[in-house]
Amino acid sequence: MPNHSNGKPALLNFNEAGEAYDSDDKKPVILCLGKPDVHYSEAYSVKVLFDLAAFYDALPLYENLAAILLCQHAADEALPVIRQHPNTALILVFCDEPCLYPHDGNIPTEQQLTSAWQAWQQAYASYPELGKTHNPQDLLLAYLALRGDCLLTPERDLSSALSYRYPVLELFDLGDSQYFLKQAMRDELMSPVSLVDRVRQCTHCGHNKLNYVDLCPQCSSLDIKQQSAIHCFTCGHVGEQQRFMDGGRLVCPNCLTALRHIGADYDRPLENMECNSCQSFFIEAKVVARCLHCDHENDPSDLNIAQIQSFRITDKAKFRLRVALDERFSLDLGEQVSRDYLHWLVDWQLGLSRRHQIEFALLCLSFNRVEQAVDELGAAQVYRMIGQLGTQVKDRLRVTDVICQYEDHSYLLLLPNLPVDHLTVVQQKMRQLSQLVEGSSALDMAVSYYHAPSELVEGENGEFLIARLLAEASGHD
């Protein structure tokens, strides 16, 4: 394969006869790792690469990319790279080779490819803002939405901590699957469809590789056994049956009384287990769940329980992809801080307030009907309203105030050193804002407030306080 002088990877096109040719036209491109067995007409520009590094270099080169075909052994390595590259994260990928990760099916015929690509293009047209996002979470949501709302399903994998994995989440490098899914459900971006399994986790490390073992309740020894025991009524001695045998007769080894009649001379105690370490008898062993990963011994009643479920994206997630990714649907309030930094700041302010009675206020500004407002008023009108609101809010902020866009349509404003009597002024300004925006009733701007130290609650931290304010704002009528 010849090398190009510009340093780009050597690419070949193939016609229906399988002959190589060069073409720089704007035909839909099929990028192949290895030569496919299927031939495609000149309606497509087929680019074939055999070197994996050259294939990775080619991923950002084509705007009119119709599909990627993985035709040689490397799918397990190539697919995560494809899905984590912004140019190819959502593209159709077909593969005939065994693969750990989901893809769009086996290498298609030209008719099958054309049908799949046209369906993909039609779905993509419904989400005009997708090209602006490089956020892995949004790319995952878009990946599912563009494939007919396909489900996010778990696969059994005994090497993983929970014995299940979500391959699609791994493709988009979304970290701990259980944490991501909890956050996505909390934000109403994913909803469970069906319960696949329920697994118990070690309270120490979170793994579910557990061995349930019976231990002596007295000394916790593993060396226990079931044993037939006898209780002598004469002296009260209890011991295993074999020790009472003497020449074919039952004789108490402690007081040498001949035991003839059960119920009169002796009985069999309920304790039918014996510890070989401390020789105690007991009815039930102590059961512990010993983690095979970290060796921690758990009380079975304390084990964490994880629900392994399949999920689908919600209508709210589709709206986020369709509208919320458009920056015109966000208040322009200037430089903002992250969620984690806001949590730290609020905790810090709460600590100062408890120790030194330092005053501050926290405001939650939330728009609860953006989807309905777009339907009722049109996107252009909602753009205008949000732009006007952003200008008005920014004009009322102090240099020391801290802003965080906490959710798609919810904002937290931290106002340090704000006396409680000034909070009334802030509330009045917020009411004026909602009246200034024409049609704001359709947009439903809701505000919830908190002031410290006047409203301090023992044990409440920043994250819990913010969740409470968000709940108050979302419940606004």
pLDDT, tens digit (0-9, with 9 covering 90-100), for 243-292? 888 888 888 989 988 888 888 888 877 667 888 888 887 878 889 999 99
**In the listed set 90, 125, 160, which residue is the last one of a domain according to the structure?**
125
Query: Is 337 part of any domain?
Result: yes
pLDDT at 199: 92
In contact, 147 and 340? CB cutoff 8 Å: no
> Using one digit for the tens of pLDDT, what is the confidence trace for 22-34?
444 578 999 999 9
Query: Is 353 part of any domain?
Result: yes
> Using one digit for the tens of pLDDT, what is the confidence trace for 422-462?
887 877 777 766 665 544 455 667 788 888 888 888 878 88
Report whether pLDDT(103) > 60.
Answer: yes
Total residues found in the chain within this entry: 477
Q: Is 80 helix (H, G, I), strand (E, B) or coil?
A: helix
**In the listed set 91, 106, 125, which residue is the last one of a domain according to the structure?**
125
Read off the pLDDT of each residue in 148-175 and give the average, rounded to a whole number: 89
Q: Name the helix (H) or strand (E) containing 404.
A: strand 402-407
> Using one digit for the tens of pLDDT, what is the confidence trace for 344-388?
888 999 988 888 888 998 888 877 666 666 666 666 666 666 666
Range of the domain at 332: 326-474
Q: What values do phi and psi take at 154, rounded to 5?
A: -85, 155
pLDDT at 370: 67
Query: Is 141 part of any domain?
Result: no
Report whether pLDDT(329) > 50.
Answer: no
**In the listed set 102, 125, 148, which residue is the last one of a domain according to the structure?**
125
pLDDT at 477: 44
pLDDT at 22: 44
Query: Is 437 part of any domain?
Result: yes
Computed over every residue of the chain, the mean pLDDT equals: 81
Query: Is 270 part of any domain?
Result: no
pLDDT at 442: 58
Share of the chain above pLDDT 90, in %: 24
pLDDT at 466: 87
Name which of 145, 177, 174 is nearest 161 in CA terms. Answer: 177
The CA–CA distances, whole Å, from 321 to 75, 113, 125, 129 equal: 28, 25, 11, 7
How far is residue 400's CA from residue 417's CA, in Å, rounded to a whole number? 9
Angle at 150 between CA 149 and CA 152, to 5 degrees: 120
Return the CATH number at 45. 3.40.50
Query: Is 262 part of any domain?
Result: no
Confidence of residue 331 (pLDDT cuts 50, 70, 90): very low
How far is residue 317's CA from residue 187's CA, in Å, rounded to a whole number? 9
Neighbour tally for 249: CB within 10 Å: 10
Query: Is 252 part of any domain?
Result: no
**Which one is predicted more confidently, 163 or 337?**
163
Pinpoint the alpha helices (H) of 266-327.
315-319
pLDDT at 380: 64
Query: Is 87 part of any domain?
Result: yes
Please give the structure tokens belonging to residue 421.
Answer: 């009597």
How far is residue 411's CA from residue 106's CA, in Å, rounded to a whole number? 45
- Name which of 146-160, 323-337, 373-387 the model is least confident about: 323-337
Please give the structure tokens belonging to residue 437.
Answer: 């925006």
Give the DSSP letter of residue 322.
I
pLDDT at 288: 92
Domain count, the chain: 2
**Which one is predicted more confidently, 163 or 338?**
163
pLDDT at 16: 47
**Which one is predicted more confidently, 187 or 257?**
257
- Name which of 83-97, 208-222, 255-269, 427-441 the model is least confident about: 427-441
Angle at 321 between CA 146 and CA 389, to 5 degrees: 165
Return the CATH number at 461. 3.30.70.270
pLDDT at 323: 67
